[in-house]
């Protein structure tokens, strides 16, 4: 026997009718969906084959005990298909049982869909040499299945995206990348965020509030880290270094020229812009300045000036 306790304002009858006597909602497991199953299969193989390979029979047995396995009659067929994909991606081997490759181990620790990691690898192998790829990276990141939030571009914002595309189409990441397609509002926001646009301006122009921008920044920085780790795995240090710079710009919301300044405690994007305007472009410039000269600058003052000088002298 079971008991239900309902705390409600007024009469509880309608709550009883809906929550207690009503028809239960159907439950569906997500574990056997393609992306989810690839992630869980790679995780199971990576964690269960430390000493010996794991057989497909053992894998089927494990998943048959999950809610998804118990409610799906096509379990073994789905597992077999996803295992074939993981072998195609060169993430597992099948020699008397399944084991992860070094790349498979890396992808497992990155907690990303193996298909996404495989696609990223293909794009990085085909990267365009001899130019920066900032806009290309942002375009790729905002079109990954793992990226959210996905806001569409309105007709009003379409013109702004066309202008950005015309100015930055040379920053294509890989040869087949279509920078004139698949635009999102998040791409527009990110482009302006790393160029130093203020919260108030983004609110007015794009109806983007600080909470939206924070969520976009967090997810973009996480995905940029994943791409950087994949680049490092394949020993592409050029792209890894470029992604390190991009991650710093996403974190601080500044053009690249301000990065040396925003790494100083108490110098955010606003103070960095002011210091740069007064020809303090980096730590070397700040080290040469007198305390009084720094303190006289708008939004700096004596307390912040002392903090800046103390940090720079420590490093020096």
**Cα distance between residue 19 and residue 14, in whole Å:** 8
Q: Is the dihedral of CA 45, 50, 56, 59 positive or negative?
A: negative
Fold (topology level) of 34-110:
Arc Repressor Mutant, subunit A (1.10.10)
Mean pLDDT by 10 residues, the chain (316 residues): 75 80 82 94 93 94 90 90 98 96 98 98 96 97 94 87 95 95 94 95 92 94 98 98 97 96 94 95 93 94 94 76
Fold of the domain built from segment(s) 257-315: DNA polymerase; domain 1 (1.10.150)
In the chain the beta strands, taken as DSSP E runs, fall at: 92-94, 98-100
**Domain 117-253 belongs to what topology?**
Sec63 N-terminal domain-like fold (1.10.3380)
At residue 28, the pLDDT reads 79
Sequence spans of domains, the chain: 34-110, 117-253, 257-315
Say if CB 224 and CB 231 are below 8 A apart. no
Tell how far CA 111 is from the center of its chain.
Answer: 11
Q: What is the pLDDT of residue 5?
A: 78
Burial of 107 (0-12, 13-18, 19+ CB in 10 A): buried
What confidence score (pLDDT) does residue 304 get?
A: 94
* Phi, psi for residue 98 in degrees, rounded to 5: -100, 135
């Amino acid at each position: 026997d079971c008991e239900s306790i309902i705390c409600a304002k007024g009469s509880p009858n309608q709550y009883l009718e809906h929550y207690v006597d009503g028809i239960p909602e159907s439950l569906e497991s997500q574990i056997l969906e393609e992306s989810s199953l690839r992630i869980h299969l790679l995780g199971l193989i990576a964690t269960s084959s430390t000493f010996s390979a794991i057989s497909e029979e053992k894998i089927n047995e494990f998943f048959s005990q999950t809610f998804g396995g118990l409610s799906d009659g096509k379990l073994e067929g789905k597992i077999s298909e996803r295992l074939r994909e993981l072998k195609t991606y060169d993430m597992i081997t099948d020699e008397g049982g399944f084991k992860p490759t070094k790349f498979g181990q890396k992808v497992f620790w990155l907690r990303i869909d193996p298909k996404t990691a495989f696609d990223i690898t293909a794009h990085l192998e085909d990267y365009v040499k001899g130019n920066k790829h900032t806009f290309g990276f942002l375009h790729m990141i905002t079109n990954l299945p793992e990226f959210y939030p996905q806001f569409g571009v309105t007709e009003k914002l379409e013109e702004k995206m066309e202008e950005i595309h015309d100015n930055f189409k040379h920053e294509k990441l890989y040869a087949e990348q279509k920078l004139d397609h698949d635009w999102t509002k998040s791409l527009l926001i990110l482009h302006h965020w790393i160029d130093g646009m203020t919260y108030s301006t983004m609110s007015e122009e794009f109806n983007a509030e600080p909470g939206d921008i924070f969520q976009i920044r967090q997810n973009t920085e996480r995905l940029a880290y994943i791409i950087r780790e994949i680049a490092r795995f394949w020993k592409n240090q050029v792209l890894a270094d470029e992604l390190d710079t991009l991650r710093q710009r996403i974190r601080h919301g500044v053009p690249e020229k301000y990065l040396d300044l925003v790494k100083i405690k108490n110098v955010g994007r606003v103070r960095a812009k002011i210091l740069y305007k007064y020809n303090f472009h980096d730590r070397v410039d700040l080290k040469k300045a007198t305390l009084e000269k720094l303190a006289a600058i708008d939004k700096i003052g004596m307390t912040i000036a002392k903090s800046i000088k103390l940090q720079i002298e420590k490093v020096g």
